[in-house]
Amino acid sequence: MNWQAYLWSSLAAARISGSLLVRKKRILFLGVLVLLPALLPIAVAFLRGPHDRVTSGLELFALLGEYGFLGTLAPLAAILLGTALVGDDLEHGTAPYLLTRAVPRSALVLGKFLAYAAVASLTFLPAMGLTLVSVLVTSPESIEAAPMIRLFAHTFGVIVLALGVYGALCCMLGTLTKRPVIYSVIFVFGWEPLTRLVPGYVDFLTVKKHLLALWPVVTVDRIDHSIDVTRKVIDVGLGEASLILALVALALVGVTTYALRNKEFARGQNLA
Amino acid sequence: MSAILKTSSLSKWFGEVVALNGIDIEIGVGITGILGPNGAGKSTLMNLITGQLSPSKGSLTLFGEQIRNNLGVLRRIGYVPEQDRFWDEVTGYEFVTRLAGLTGMSIRDAKIRSKRVIERVGLADRCHTPIGSYSRGMRQRIKLAQALVHDPDLLLLDEPLTGLDPLGRQETIELLRELADEGRTIVVASHVLHEVESLTSEVILLVRGRILASGEVKSIRAHIENFPHTIHCRSVDAREIGKRVVATPGLIGLDFDDQGVAIKTQDPAAVYAAITDAVVAGGVTLDRLSAADDDLDAVFKYLVR
Amino acid sequence: MPVFKQSYPTWRPDRRAGAQRTRVRWLPIVRRELEQLVSQRGFKVLLVVAALPVLVHLLQIYSVNKLAAEPNGDLAAMLRNVAITIDAEFFFGFLHVQTYFVFVLMLYASSGLLCDDIRLNLAEVYFSKPLTKRDYLLGKVVTVVGLGLTYTALPALFLFGAQLMMVPDAEYLRANWWVPLSSLAFALVFVIPTAFATLACSALTSSRRYAAAAVITLLVANGFVATLLSDILNRRSVSIINVPEAMGRVGESLFSVESYIPLGWPWAMAVVVGVAVIGCTVLVHRINRVEAGL
Range of B265's domain?
224-304
Q: C51-71: per-residue pLDDT in tens?
A: 999 999 999 999 888 888 877
Where does the pLDDT of residue B191 fall: very low under 50, low under 70, confident under 90, or very high at 90 and above?
Answer: confident
Report the neighbours of C using a cutoff of 3 or more CB pairs below 8 angstroms: A
pLDDT, residue C206, reads 82
List CB contacts (< 8 A) between A267 and chain B: 14
Query: How close A228 comes to chain C (CA, Å)?
Result: 20
pLDDT, residue B295, reads 63
Distance CA C255, CA C249 (A): 10
Q: Are residues B216 and B247 in the same domain?
A: no
**Looking at the predicted structure, is the pLDDT value of residue B216 above 50?**
yes
List CB contacts (< 8 A) between B101 and chain A: 8-9, 11-12, 15
ipTM for the whole complex: 0.82
How many structural domains is chain C composed of?
Answer: 1
From B221, B251, B281, give the residue that closes a domain: B221
**Looking at the predicted structure, is the pLDDT value of residue C290 above 90?**
no
CATH number of the domain residue B234 falls in: 3.30.70.920
Mean pLDDT of C17-46: 82
List CB contacts (< 8 A) between A180 and chain C: 209
Mean pLDDT of the residues in chain B: 88
What does each C-alpha distance from B85 to A92, A95, B165, C53 come to in angstroms? 7, 9, 19, 44
Question: With a CB-CB cutoff of 8 Å, which residues 12-31 of chain B face chain A?
Answer: 12, 14, 17, 19
Sign, Cα dihedral of A79, A85, A86, A88: positive
Mean pLDDT by 10 residues, chain A (272 residues): 88 93 88 91 81 71 88 93 91 91 94 96 95 85 79 93 96 91 89 84 88 80 60 71 94 95 72 35
Q: C198-252: per-residue pLDDT in tens?
A: 999 999 988 888 898 899 989 999 998 898 888 888 888 888 899 999 999 999 9
Q: What type of residue is B283?
A: G
Q: Could you tell me what percent of chain A has a pLDDT over 70?
A: 89
Range of C29's domain?
25-291
Query: For residue A64, is it left (φ>0), alpha (ψ between -120 and 50) or beta?
Result: alpha
Mean pLDDT of B189-199: 83
Is residue C14 domain-resident? no
Cβ separation A181–C216 shorter than 8 A: yes
Q: Are residues B211 and B240 in the same domain?
A: no
* % helix, strand, coil for chain A, step of 5: 75, 5, 20
Asked if C107 is an interface residue toward chain A (Cβ–Cβ < 8 A), one would say no
From B170, B196, B221, give the residue that closes a domain: B221
pLDDT, residue C149, reads 96
Interface of A with B (CB under 8 A): 1, 4-6, 8-9, 11-13, 15-16, 19-20, 23-24, 92-94, 96-105, 108, 261, 264-272
Q: Are residues B16 and B55 in the same domain?
A: yes
| Nearest CB neighbour to A36, from listed C204, C214, C225 | C225
CATH number of the domain residue B73 falls in: 3.40.50.300
Question: With a CB-CB cutoff of 8 Å, which residues 138-157 of chain C face chain A?
Answer: none
**Looking at the predicted structure, is the pLDDT value of residue B193 above 80?**
no
**Looking at the predicted structure, is the pLDDT value of residue C128 above 70?**
yes
Mean pLDDT of B154-160: 93
Asked if A65 is an interface residue toward chain C (Cβ–Cβ < 8 A), one would say no
Cβ separation A53–C220 shorter than 8 A: no
How many structural domains is chain B composed of?
Answer: 2
Report the chain B residue with the minimal C-alpha distance to residue A19.
B90
Q: Are residues B280 and B155 in the same domain?
A: no
Sign, Cα dihedral of C183, C184, C190, C195: positive
Distance CA C59, CA C47 (A): 19
Cβ separation C233–A53 shorter than 8 A: yes
**Looking at the predicted structure, is the pLDDT value of residue B151 above 70?**
yes
Q: Are residues B19 and B151 in the same domain?
A: yes
List CB contacts (< 8 A) between A76 and chain C: 217, 220-221
Q: Are residues B259 and B132 in the same domain?
A: no
Residue ranges of the domains in chain A? 3-262
Q: Are residues B162 and B298 in the same domain?
A: no
Q: B58-85: per-residue pLDDT in tens?
A: 999 999 999 988 999 999 999 999 988 8
List CB contacts (< 8 A) between C120 and chain A: none
Cβ separation A52–C225 shorter than 8 A: no
pLDDT, residue A272, reads 33
Q: Tell me which residue of B196, B200, B201, B207 sits closest to B45, measured CA to CA.
A: B207
Asked if C217 is an interface residue toward chain A (Cβ–Cβ < 8 A), one would say yes
pTM: 0.81
